[in-house]
């Protein structure tokens, strides 16, 4: 078994599409009033499912997990923050050196965290 789809429960798929379209730099491959889907890579999809439409119903909301995006250098981490600030997105963690690498975190409109990081070499 190999996971190939991550689903996030969102209040407004249309609003979330705006966020992820900007973050990922691509259009969704599928979109309806209650759902949208992005290709993250050749094997993995990101689904945005309207909370009120999730079956079985869930009381869970965003913020309890992260989507990680690996980049090649510190400048890309810093550029991500500049882009987030220009877009009015929150910076939950300013660029910081941690044991796993140089990292920063934002959140989508529902509080799902997105971490951009340059891994520690070693």
Cα–Cα distance for residue pair 34/53, rounded to 1 Å? 7
**Within-domain flag for 100:** yes
Same-domain check for residues 27 and 48: yes
Least Cα distance to 19 among 105, 69, 87 occurs for: 87
Q: What is the pLDDT of residue 49?
A: 97
The pLDDT score that the predictor gives to residue 91 is 98
Residue 24 within a domain: yes
Q: Is the pLDDT of residue 59 over 90?
A: no
Q: How many domains does the chain have?
A: 2
Pairing assessment for the beta strands 66-70 and 113-119 based on DSSP bridges:
parallel
Listed in order, strand segments (DSSP E) in 18-100 are 30-32, 35-39, 45-50, 66-70, 91-98
Q: Is 58 contained in some domain? A: no
Q: Are residues 74 and 49 in the same domain?
A: no
Per DSSP, the three-state class of 18 is helix
Q: Render pLDDT for 2-58 as a digit per residue (tens, 0 to 9).
A: 899 999 999 999 999 999 999 999 999 999 999 999 999 999 999 999 999 999 999
Do 113 and 70 share a structural domain? yes
59 in a structural domain:
no
Both 70 and 115 in one domain: the answer is yes
Same domain, 39 and 72: no
Instruction: Give yes or no: residues 113 and 87 share one domain.
Output: yes
> Over 80: is that where the pLDDT of 110 sits?
yes
As a whole-number percent, the residues of the chain with pLDDT over 90 amount to 90
Average pLDDT, the chain: 96
Residue 61 lies inside a defined structural domain of this protein: no
- Domain span at residue 110? 66-119
State yes or no: pLDDT of 88 exceeds 90: yes
The CATH number that applies at residue 80 is 3.10.180.10
Q: 34 in a domain, yes or no? A: yes
% the chain with pLDDT above 70: 99
Report, as an integer, the average pLDDT of 94-109. Answer: 97
C-beta of residue 93 within 8 angstroms of C-beta of residue 103: yes
pLDDT at 121: 85
Does some domain include residue 13?
yes
């Amino acid at each position: 078994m190999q996971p190939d789809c991550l689903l996030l429960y969102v209040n407004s798929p249309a609003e979330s599409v705006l966020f992820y379209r900007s973050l990922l730099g691509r259009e969704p491959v599928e979109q309806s009033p209650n759902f949208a889907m992005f290709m993250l890579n050749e094997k993995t999809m990101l689904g945005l499912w309207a909370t009120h439409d999730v079956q079985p119903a869930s009381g869970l909301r965003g913020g309890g997990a992260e989507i990680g995006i690996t980049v090649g250098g510190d400048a890309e981490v810093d550029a991500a923050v500049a882009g987030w600030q220009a877009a009015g997105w929150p910076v939950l963690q300013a660029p910081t050196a941690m044991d796993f690498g140089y990292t920063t975190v934002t959140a989508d409109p529902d509080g799902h965290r997105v971490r951009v990081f340059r891994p520690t070499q070693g």
